[in-house]
Amino acid sequence: MDYFKNLLDLLKIERSEDREQYKKLTESSSVAERRANGLTWFPVAIRGSEMSRGDYLTIELERTTHQDVSHQFRTGMPAVFFTNHDPQKDRIEGTIAHQNGNKLKITIKDDELPEWSRDGKLGVDLLFDDNSYDEMNDALKKASELSEKSPLIQILTGAKSPTFRQDNVGKALNPADGEKQLPLSVSPQTISVQSSVETQTTAIEALQKLNTSQKNAVEKILSANELAIVHGPPGTGKTTTLVQAIKALVKQENQKILVVAPSNTAVDLLSEKLSEEGLNVLRVGNPARVSERLQRLTLESKMADHDYLKETKRLRKQAQEFKNMAHKYKRSFGKAERDQRKALFDEAHRIMKEVDNTEQYIIDDLLTKTQVVTATLVGANHYTVRNLTYQTIVIDEAGQALEPACWIPILKAQKVILAGDHCQLSPTIKSNEAAKNGLSKTLLEKCIELHPEAVTLLEEQYRMNENIMGYSSAVFYDDKLKAHQSVAKSLLFTDDTPLLFIDTAGCGFDEKLEGTSSTNPDEATFTFKHINLFVEELHRKDFNANNFPSIAVISPYKQQINLLKEQFEHSADLQKYKDNISVNTIDSFQGQERDVVYISLTRSNDKGEIGFLADIRRMNVAMTRARKKLVVIGDSATLGQHPFYANFIEYAEKKGGYVSAWEFLE
């Protein structure tokens, strides 16, 4: 099928570019450079080792220095354990089995620690992650093979239209006065026997708390036979809606639901929310956020609480004892000793097979009781759930999901729920060629265009003052967004201006180029001058350490962020509020919100060049992070060449939020 052939070709280009970029980062770089790029832990200390599934050994390592350096280590990624005495020779490849804080477990295909591991100077390097690309590649090939027979694949690729049941789903969400309805259009018999009347009543109450568009989204999800789409603009309660829909699906279909997202953080959020709603959730892979609640949801934690685990521990200990006995034989021994050594190893392997069987029983038992499995897109093929199928899968943050990765979970289901916002940030693509030829277009975006009948737009937002919301609503959401009354008029204090565009045109704040990133030192200095003036005003309005608002300072350019961070660090008056003020790139703030947001647009030149400011979806993210006050700082002479910014400046003027930077320089 041409559809999948095209995706396979684009994925090949992306893999090649990704590998090249990885090689540039690692081939000629030192351990210190690789560590700074998040690709190496060095030095590490061995904290323990144990026999693992099959003929593998799992080694627990802890990084002993540079513990605050961010890294890219994740469960399932390929890595190499090495000694820096001879890193080319003394190295052994493996897979990250678990990562938590400053500890990780790496599984190697060997039955004992390498001899060089006793000499110290140990480290772990990440290898290029071919596994993820292999999983995506295999999924696309399989989807192509199944496309002739699968109605779901034909719908997702545009060959067919989705269908919907016409039944009493809506009645469950909007029962007539006095009626006692189950939360779904199904008979009581399909509800799990553990469900009590109180549980059902609670579910009804939770659904009734949803607003009209949220209820419509749940109705669409329940009535869909193959596809439903939740388009969730910023602050519209997409997660709340999804959680209630998933609860309803579990009760309706009385079987496991698979919930996936492109990032660990998004998976964690849903896992936590679903667990809080009383669902039995299994988090496959390791959480990015290390909280006790999330740890309890992982397979490792649930296995630790299982009644049969004591037996596996006893067997492991026994197998290890046999191996230790075998290792006591010297290298020069006769036939009898050799036979005895072999017998000991054979017995250890036999016991470990028994361990594998017992662990598999525990996993199967846990999965039988699980209602919702949560994982990243690639994590949906984790060995524990690889062969499971589901009635329904839910892909959250689908606007940031690479399409080939989406096909990994899709192939396991009969019905797909896509949730996200294609008007915010798209997936990160390493290859410009692949992005330009279509890899940057998500399955969510394609399906919204192909099947508008499957889409529900969440229309009521609970985050922003209506003036902050208004411009995004007009440009991206056909003016359909409405601010809930609880936030529509929200201000930090009476008579504050919720939206401000500060025009630096004519101030001589010229941009500079540092490497490949634009900076504007004068604008950075001015931004913090204005923040200081604003904080002085807050003090006059009786704001103090107890009620000080949260403030984000953001910019699309990394080098500009570095300058802004320097300004912040040298601002003594603001340092006392450092827990309330954060400075970072726009991309890092997707999904977050603050009371006040400052945006430094940076670009200022006489050619009207604005670079990737032209990616207006990134600006949609930036402008919708603020709850009560949004301050945008930029040069109208440069920005005004682009219609999006010209219209925004005009919108700010109409709302009484346009001022010149000159007013603050005098």
Q: Is the pLDDT of residue 546 over 70?
A: yes
State residue 189's pLDDT score: 34
Q: Find tokens 């050799």 and name the residue.
A: 338
Separation of alpha carbons 578 and 197, rounded Å: 49
The percent of residues above 90 in pLDDT, for the chain, comes to 67
**Comparing 132-136, 187-191, 369-373, 508-512, which segment has the lowest mean pLDDT?**
187-191
* Residue 204 in tokens: 């009804």
**Domain at 133-165+205-280+372-457: CATH architecture:** 3-Layer(aba) Sandwich (3.40)
Residue 271, classed as helix, strand or coil, is: helix
- What pLDDT band is residue 185 in, cutting at 50, 70 and 90? very low
Q: Is the pLDDT of residue 408 over 80?
A: yes
Give the pairing type, strands 257-261 and 372-376.
parallel
Separation of alpha carbons 168 and 166, rounded Å: 7
Q: Is the pLDDT of residue 148 over 80?
A: yes
- What pLDDT band is residue 266 in, cutting at 50, 70 and 90? very high
Stretch 406-431: mean pLDDT, rounded? 96
Residue 462, classed as helix, strand or coil, is: coil
Q: Are 368 and 361 in contact (CB under 8 A)?
A: no
The percent of residues above 70 in pLDDT, for the chain, comes to 92
Q: What is the pLDDT of residues 56-81, one digit of tens each?
A: 889 999 999 999 888 989 888 899 99
| Cα within 13 Å of Cα(297), Cβ side | 32
State residue 195's pLDDT score: 42
Q: What is the pLDDT of residues 280-312, one digit of tens each?
A: 999 998 777 767 788 899 988 888 888 887 777
Closest CA to 84 of 31, 121, 40, 32: 121
State residue 169's pLDDT score: 55
Between 326 and 158, where is the model more confident? 158
Between 206 and 316, where is the model more confident? 316
- Tell the CATH topology of 463-664: Rossmann fold (3.40.50)
Q: Are 492 and 651 in contact (CB under 8 A)?
A: no
**Comparing 33-47, 167-181, 540-554, which segment has the lowest mean pLDDT?**
167-181
Query: 531-549: b or e for each residue (b if 16 or more CB lie within 10 Å)?
Result: beebbeebeeeebeeeebb
What's at 143, amino acid-wise? A
State residue 53's pLDDT score: 66
* Residue 35 in tokens: 């560590």
- Looking at every residue in the chain, the average pLDDT score rounds to 89
- What pLDDT band is residue 55 in, cutting at 50, 70 and 90? low
- What pLDDT band is residue 112 in, cutting at 50, 70 and 90? confident
Residue 526: how many CB atoms within 10 A of its CB?
Answer: 21
State residue 132's pLDDT score: 93
Q: What is the pLDDT of residues 200-249, one digit of tens each?
A: 555 566 678 899 999 999 999 999 999 999 999 999 999 999 999 999 99
Give the pairing type, strands 460-461 and 40-51.
unpaired
State residue 190's pLDDT score: 35
State residue 98's pLDDT score: 85
- What pLDDT band is residue 174 in, cutting at 50, 70 and 90? low
Closest CA to 183 of 253, 127, 233: 253
Residue 198, classed as helix, strand or coil, is: helix
Q: What is the pLDDT of residues 38-48, one digit of tens each?
A: 999 999 999 98
First-to-last alpha carbon distance for the chain, in angstroms, is 66
Q: Are 393 and 258 in contact (CB under 8 A)?
A: yes
Q: What is the pLDDT of residues 558-583, one digit of tens each?
A: 999 999 999 999 999 999 999 999 99
Separation of alpha carbons 29 and 453, rounded Å: 52
Q: What is the pLDDT of residues 339-361, one digit of tens each?
A: 877 888 788 778 878 878 888 88
Tell me which DSSP letter residue 164 carries. Answer: B
State residue 188's pLDDT score: 33
Q: Is the pLDDT of residue 250 over 80?
A: yes
Closest CA to 53 of 411, 363, 332, 464: 363
Stretch 3-29: mean pLDDT, rounded? 94
**Comparing 106-115, 188-197, 571-580, which segment has the lowest mean pLDDT?**
188-197
Q: What is the pLDDT of residues 577-624, one digit of tens each?
A: 999 999 999 988 888 999 999 999 999 999 999 998 999 999 999 999
**Comparing 106-115, 140-149, 337-346, 478-487, which segment has the lowest mean pLDDT?**
337-346
Q: Is the pLDDT of residue 661 over 70?
A: yes
What CATH number should be reported for the domain whose range is 38-128? 2.40.30.270
Q: Is the pLDDT of residue 176 over 70?
A: no
Separation of alpha carbons 587 and 591, rounded Å: 9
Stretch 80-108: mean pLDDT, rounded? 87
Q: Are 622 and 554 in contact (CB under 8 A)?
A: yes
Separation of alpha carbons 185 and 196, rounded Å: 17
| Interacting residues of 26 by C-beta distance below 8 A, sequence separation 6+ | 34, 39, 125
Q: What is the dihedral of CA 32, 33, 35, 37, to 10 degrees?
A: 160
State residue 255's pLDDT score: 78
State residue 254's pLDDT score: 78
Residue 45 sits at φ, ψ, to 5 deg, of -120, 145
State residue 341's pLDDT score: 75
Stretch 485-508: mean pLDDT, rounded? 96
